[in-house]
């Protein structure tokens, strides 16, 4: 029987483990893939407080992981399949085991939809990114491409225009889906150029991205676009499918919580990118992890 089981070992889950372990709660962290989650798609983090000049994502995660283990948190590499509610505890079912716990913190994060084209997976973190806020400053005075036509793509293109020499916004339709005012802002920036009615078919580069192959939707004509970076914004999906029917989710699958990060089920909390919120950054994920662990401790005290 655990006091707290944390599902997910990204920045939110690791911070929750640090706080719950430090509070002397018997803590287990379950992670289905790699420690660090989506953060490991980024090479360097420049906007995390306390690290002038930035810190590599790997180094930051290693420090957080060790800190959690130093406070007694236990880690296991298992995928959670479902959660069931018993009379006095909660039961977590993984692909190979079942665990009993008094409280749960869901920190499974979200994943960016990928294009699914050749070269994408190989060049992630080497020119291919899914976070302009994280990686934009690394492309100062360089040429970048933004893939997508919605508000997120437009907003991130404007952010990238602060750093890059040229930003190409590539969208498969002949009109953007973004708000008209964002389109006007991009035009006024004099740095954003539109390539509409085209899709990316291949990402080219040996050690780093060097060019992307584009195909016109109507004519089928192909051309190469030389660029230093590519930012993909074609959608974000929370990793919450296993929670369907258990806790309240919004229409996109994000977990709905109160200010204490309590879900609709008493004793189940959430933290990080999988919950409904405005800003999804490493620092906000860590804040969520701290709040969720503190709320879980209060819940356990009342028990």
Bigger pLDDT: 74 vs 111: 74
Is 162 within 8 Å of 190 (Cβ atoms)?
no
Q: How far apart are CA 226 and CA 210, in angstroms?
A: 6
Mean pLDDT of 111-125: 92
What is the helix (H) or strand (E) element at residue 194, kind and residue range? strand 192-196
Annotated catalytic, 227? no
The per-residue pLDDT for range 32-84, each reduced to its tens digit, is 989 998 888 677 788 899 999 889 989 999 999 999 999 999 999 999 999 99
Count of Cβ atoms closer than 10 Å to residue 12 Cβ: 34
* Catalytic-role residue among 3, 121, 135, 288: 135
Q: Is the pLDDT of residue 28 over 80?
A: yes
The pLDDT confidence band at residue 134, using thresholds 50, 70 and 90, is confident
Q: What share of the chain is helix, strand, coil (3-state, %, to 5)?
A: 25, 30, 45
* Catalytic-role residue among 3, 131, 228, 274: 131
Chain-wide mean pLDDT for the chain? 94
Count of Cβ atoms closer than 10 Å to residue 152 Cβ: 17
Q: Is the pLDDT of residue 148 over 80?
A: yes
Mean pLDDT of 155-175: 95
Mean pLDDT of 17-41: 93
- pLDDT of res. 84: 96
Q: How far apart are CA 133 and CA 16, in angstroms?
A: 24
Is 201 within 8 Å of 116 (Cβ atoms)?
no
- pLDDT of res. 144: 98
- pLDDT of res. 152: 84
The pLDDT confidence band at residue 279, using thresholds 50, 70 and 90, is confident
Give the number of residues written for the chain: 303
Q: Is the pLDDT of residue 207 over 80?
A: yes
* Catalytic-role residue among 70, 88, 134, 258: 134
Annotated catalytic, 131? yes
Structural domains of the chain, with CATH: 2-111+236-302 (3.50.50.60), 114-232 (3.50.50.60)
- pLDDT of res. 189: 94
Q: How far apart are CA 126 and CA 194, in angstroms?
A: 24
- Which residues, in sequence order, are bridge partners of residue 147? 170, 232
Residue 194 is encoded by which pair of tokens? 């539109």
- Which residues, in sequence order, are bridge partners of residue 82? 93
Annotated catalytic, 135? yes
Question: What 3-state class would DSSP assign to 231?
Answer: strand
Share of the chain above pLDDT 90, in %: 84
Residue 204 is encoded by which pair of tokens? 């080219």
Q: Is the pLDDT of residue 88 over 90?
A: no
Instruction: Provide DSSP, 35-99.
Output: TTGGGGG-SEESSSTT-TT-EEHHHHHHHHHHHHHHTT-EEE---EEEEEE-SSSEEEEESS-EE
- pLDDT of res. 87: 85
- pLDDT of res. 30: 98
Q: How far apart are CA 303 and CA 293, in angstroms?
A: 15
- pLDDT of res. 47: 84
Is 12 within 8 Å of 19 (Cβ atoms)?
no
- pLDDT of res. 44: 77
pTM for this model (two decimals): 0.77
Q: Is the pLDDT of residue 106 over 80?
A: yes
Q: How far apart are CA 152 and CA 137, in angstroms?
A: 18
């Amino acid at each position: 029987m655990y006091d707290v089981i944390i599902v997910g070992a990204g920045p939110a889950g690791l911070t929750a483990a640090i706080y719950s372990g430090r509070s002397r709660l018997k803590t287990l962290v379950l992670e289905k893939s790699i420690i660090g989650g989506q953060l490991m798609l980024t090479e360097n983090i420049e906007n995390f407080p306390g690290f002038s000049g930035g810190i590599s994502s790997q180094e930051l995660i290693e420090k957080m992981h060790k800190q959690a283990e130093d406070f007694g948190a236990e880690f296991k590499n298992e995928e959670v399949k479902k959660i069931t509610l018993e009379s006095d505890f909660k039961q977590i079912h993984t692909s190979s085991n079942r665990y009993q716990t008094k409280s749960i913190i869901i920190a499974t994060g979200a994943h960016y939809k990928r294009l699914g084209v050749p070269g994408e997976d190989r060049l992630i973190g080497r020119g291919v990114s899914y976070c302009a806020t994280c990686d934009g400053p690394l492309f100062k005075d360089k040429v970048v491409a933004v893939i997508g036509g919605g508000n997120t793509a437009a907003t991130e293109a404007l952010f990238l225009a602060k750093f890059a020499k040229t930003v190409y916004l590539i969208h498969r339709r002949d009109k953007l889906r973004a708000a008209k005012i964002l389109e006007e802002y991009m035009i006024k920036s004099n740095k954003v150029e539109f390539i509409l009615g085209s899709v990316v078919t291949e990402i080219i580069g040996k050690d780093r991205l060097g060019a992307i192959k584009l195909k016109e939707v109507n004519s089928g004509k192909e051309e190469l676009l030389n660029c230093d970076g590519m930012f993909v914004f074609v959608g974000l999906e929370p990793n919450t499918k296993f929670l369907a029917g258990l806790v309240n989710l919004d229409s996109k699958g994000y977990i709905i919580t109160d200010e204490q990060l309590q879900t609709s089920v008493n004793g189940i909390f959430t933290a990080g990118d999988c919950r409904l919120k405005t800003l999804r950054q490493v620092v906000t994920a860590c804040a969520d992890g701290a709040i969720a662990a503190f709320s879980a401790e209060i819940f356990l005290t009342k028990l």
